[in-house]
Amino acid sequence: MDPRSDAADQNQSVSSNEPAPAAPGWSTYAPAPAQEETSAGILSSTVGKAVFGLVMISAIFFAFAGGMIFQRLVVTSNAQAQDGGGPETFDRAWELVLSQYVDQDAVNQDVMLEAAIDGMLETLRDEGHTRYLTSTEATAESEGLSGEYVGVGVHVEDTENGITVVAPIDGSPAKDAGVQSGDILVAVDGQDVTGRSVNEVIGSIRGEEGSQVTLSFDREGEPETLTFTLTRQRIELSSVSWTMLDDNIADIRLSQFTSGSGDDVQAALSEAQDAGAEGVVLDLRNNPGGYISEAIKIGSTFVPEDSTVFVSQFRDGSREDHDATEQDVHIGDLPLVVLINEGSASSSEIVSGAIKSNNPNATVIGETTFGTGTVLSNYDLGDGSAILLGTELWLTPEGKLIKNQGIRPDVIVAMPDGVFPFIPVDNAEPNDTEINDLQLEWAQDILTVE
């Protein structure tokens, strides 16, 4: 999967049936005229009444029993006739709602369709990954990976704790306001988001450029809900930035695997090598992922050619290795440190896992990653809407599952509370007081020793 950045509708007709005629009522019994009674007559009359009463009781019993048996036969026959399963059963249910439901004002076919697809996909229990996108959401998803969209710049994921911030985008309103990885979104513009899909929430966060949206978050360690009023803006996803640190250590930060990220990383690495870099930091912290093709290209830049970047596992259990290919720009023998944290997901996990497994000159530092692990395929449904469907599991080069496990660093270094990763700015030399980044400081120490 890939976590998303702050990033339904279809139609039919009715028919009615004539009500069945009411069942006929019981006819009344009129007793015969009274006659003079003898003992024989009394006996005859008594026996006659008893027989008549028995006949009537039997008639009533068989009438009811016959009715119950008849009803049972009707139900069984109907169930067997309709036992098609799959799309036929769904079509039947759909038509029944359209033609028979009493409150036709409540019937909204667009909402019904979206809820039906959402419900079907939820049974797969691939929360936050496999999902349905309305046409608006599909456009937003495409925009987010194209390098530009209008929003507040926060990547969110549907987790067991709720809609969780994977990472705010560098330079975005969310990042500047102090939204952090791990924050749990509880409300948008005062409306509780509990029970809403991540795509619905993304749609409500997005809006017109210049308009405002108020987001409320729960944060571990904070007794009160945190509320931020943010102004939506066009988010330019410049996914790569770099700077040269002390001791000729190049710090390359990749914020997302958007279209063209592979070329941008190679351009930054080439510039760093030309500038005399003696070690490289590849910062994948709070990187929510993106295009798998970009992950393979970037992975190929930092591992030996023909080594395995990751392994796909398909639904039949078969596997396929995805190997590194020759690149015009390569890390070579330069010492490398990769920085990861709990906001590193999806393609970030592929690249960090590949480097950890294949590059003997590399050290992975930070905290265990998010633990995504499914490759999402985008299927257009023909009306602008789409399904993002988990069609593969991805594994590390050794065949270890990433889903719900994540990539564990070689050296675990936690960031102190309230301290955020350093963001390099192109062509600007930072001073030591600007960095204040414990994980990056560890990286510098390791590269300096090497």
Question: Which CATH number covers residue 411?
Answer: 3.90.226.10
pTM (2 d.p.): 0.63
Q: Which domain holds residue 333?
A: 240-449
CATH number for the domain that contains residue 229: 2.30.42.10
* pLDDT recorded at residue 200: 85
255 in any annotated domain: yes
As a whole number of angstroms, the distance between CA 243 and CA 246 comes to 10
Q: Please state, in angstroms and rounded to a whole number, the distance separating the CA atoms of residues 368 and 284.
A: 12
- 227 shares a domain with 134: yes
Q: In the numeric block, which tokens belong to residue 36?
A: 């003079």
If you count them, how many residues does the chain have?
450
Phi first, then psi: give them for residue 167, nearest 5 degrees.
-170, 140
Q: Phi then psi for 187, rounded to 5 degrees?
A: -155, 150
Q: Summarize pLDDT for 199-230 with one digit per residue, the tens.
A: 789 889 988 999 999 999 999 999 999 999 99
Q: Which pair of structure tokens corresponds to residue 102?
A: 């009493």
Residues 151 and 278 grouped into a single domain: no
Angle between helices 292-302 and 347-358 (to 10 degrees): 20
312 and 220 in a single domain? The answer is no
Q: Structure tokens of 63? A: 């009438």
pLDDT of 52 over the 70 cut: no
Q: What is the pLDDT of residue 197?
A: 84
Residue 10 confidence class, pLDDT cut points 50, 70, 90: very low
CA-CA distance, 283 to 410, in Å (whole number)? Answer: 15
Burial of 193 (0-12, 13-18, 19+ CB in 10 A): buried
d(CA 126, CA 141): 18
Q: Which residue has the higher pLDDT, 39 or 437?
A: 437
Q: What pLDDT sits at residue 65?
A: 42
DSSP H/E element including 375: strand 374-380
In a domain, 286, yes or no: yes
In this structure, what DSSP letter does residue 34 have? P
Is 359 part of any domain?
yes
Q: Are residues 267 and 407 in the same domain?
A: yes
**Are residues 278 and 211 both part of a single domain?**
no
* Residue 79 domain-assigned (yes or no): no
**Model pLDDT, residue 155:** 80
pLDDT at 417: 82
236, 255, 273 — which closes off a domain? 236
Same domain, 231 and 324: no
Predicted confidence (pLDDT) per residue in 246-257, tens digit:
999 999 999 889
Number of domains in the chain: 2
pLDDT at 221: 92
Give me the DSSP letters along 110-141. Answer: HHHHHHHHHHHHHTTT-TTTSEEE-HHHHHHH
**Is 221 a domain residue?**
yes
Contact (CB, 8 A) for 298 and 325: no
Lowest-confidence range among 111-120, 158-167, 264-273, 364-373?
158-167
Last residue of a domain, one of 185, 210, 236: 236
Average pLDDT over residues 226-251: 91
Query: Do the domain assignments include residue 53?
Result: no
Average predicted confidence (pLDDT) for the chain: 81
293 and 413 housed in the same domain? yes
236, 271, 304 — which closes off a domain? 236
Does 198 share its domain with 261?
Answer: no
Which range (64-68, 112-116, 427-431, 444-448) has the least confidence?
A: 64-68
pLDDT at 34 over 90: no
Same-domain pairing of 187 and 329? no
What is the Cα–Cα distance from 131 to 431, expressed in whole angstroms?
A: 44
- The fraction of the chain above a pLDDT of 70, given in percent, is 78
In the three-class reduction of DSSP (H, G, I as helix; E, B as strand; rest coil), residue 226 is classed as: strand
Q: Considering the domain boundaries, does residue 31 fall inside one?
A: no
Please check whether residues 283 and 424 belong to one and the same domain.
Answer: yes
Same structural domain for residues 198 and 253? Answer: no
- Answer for the pair 241, 271: CB distance below 8 angstroms, yes or no: no
DSSP element (H, E) containing 64: helix 39-81
Under 8 Å CB-to-CB from 244, ≥6 apart: which residues? 250, 251, 272, 275, 277, 429
60: in domain: no
Q: Which H or E run contains 246? A: none
Residues 278 and 228 in one domain: no
